[in-house]
A and B are shown apart, each in its own frame.
Chain A
Amino acid sequence: MKFLDSSIVKVGVEVGDAEEAIHAAGQLLVQEGLAEESYIEAMKNAYRKNGPYFVLAPHIAIPHARPEDGVNEASVSLIQLKEPVVFGHAMNDPVRLVFGLGASSSDEHLILLQKLTGLLNNPDNVNKLLEATKEEEIKTILEMGN
């Protein structure tokens, strides 16, 4: 289980559109062996098919697909975008924080979502994540929160 470990967090990423943002968040999982390339495609397909419903709060998107789409280990990555990107959500656009969720069918999946919910239910944490300029700062926010 990997929850926002420093190898899967990136700050100030530049992308052109929502699909590139999803790709970047998924790429961190793939690069660390937590998911396969097929999972990135599945995340993008889910966006095309079901729309931007996973933009769960202002600035925050949590793209994901199904465990069987190619997840090796339950995991959450984070891409903080340099410039906000429109996903097409009526209320919560534009997005700057993209959490790539490697969904698994294990108990770890529930634990990861509890950790993520605990982090994002606190607006102070969200503001700090938006304002961070270095990966180190994200690490500090996570340590303070736990």
Chain B
Amino acid sequence: MLKILTVCGLGQGTSLILKMNVEQVLNEKGIQADVEHTDVSAASSMQADYIITSNELSESLVGHSAKVFIVNNYFDMDEIKSAIEENIN
């Protein structure tokens, strides 16, 4: 199964919001994946296929084995949908 991390600074709030909206898009598209939310320092040592985060935090994840991609507006389902379509095959 695909493993996806949603990442924020503390792993408490915004990564959970992103996880909810990412899961909604994945469900709509029928993509099976395990989505976990976490903070940026924990993410560095976690295995995943994909990491979704903000532009600000993506720089801290350069070099991670997962493919890292960005969402700018966490409440724009269209943006989240296109980001997933472009990056997850």
Contact = CB atoms under 8 A, between A and B. Distances in A.
Interface in A81-102: 89-92, 101
Contacts of B76: 57
B73 A58 contact: yes
A51 interface: yes
A64 B73 CA distance: 18
B16 interface: yes
A65 B39 CA distance: 12
Interface of B is mostly: mixed
B9 A54 contact: yes
A126 B16 CA distance: 20
Interface in A75-128: 89-92, 101, 103, 109-110, 113-114, 116-117, 120-121, 126
Interface of B: 8-10, 12-14, 16-17, 20-21, 40, 53-57, 72-77
